[in-house]
Amino acid sequence: MPKSPNDKLQGTLTLLILRALRTRGPIHGYGLLEHIHAASNELLQVEEGSLYPALHRMEQDGWISAKWEITEKGRKAKMYSLTARGEKQLAAEHENWERLTRGVARVLRYS
């Protein structure tokens, strides 16, 4: 059975969320979904069923903070922000991603 393109996101979601929060600043969950989709030229689509558990886990780990605010459209939404611990985790996640992609590239070039 062929895998969905979204399966490729498994293992990179933390990196994508932390990076989006650094880029965008405080943002609500749906805004994160839109940002990742737009920033990837619509190649990546994160499902809500994956996003919100990841946000909850990252909040518990102290990588992000969340507070309820009123959006520009007058709705109550939980706004997420990157913490200092999250900045450190982002650096670690980015390094892990770089190491993984270097390894995959080496395997693909191996003859």
pLDDT per residue over 73-108, tens digit each?
899 999 999 999 999 999 999 999 999 999 999 999
* Residue 15: predicted pLDDT: 96
Domain 5-109 is found in CATH 3.40.50.150: no
pLDDT per residue over 17-53, tens digit each?
999 999 998 999 999 999 999 999 999 999 999 999 9
> What DSSP letter does each residue of 20-58 carry, written as one string?
HHHHH-SEEHHHHHHHHHHHTTT-----HHHHHHHHHHH
What are the structural domain ranges in the chain? Answer: 5-109
Short-list 27, 49, 50, CA closest to 39: 27
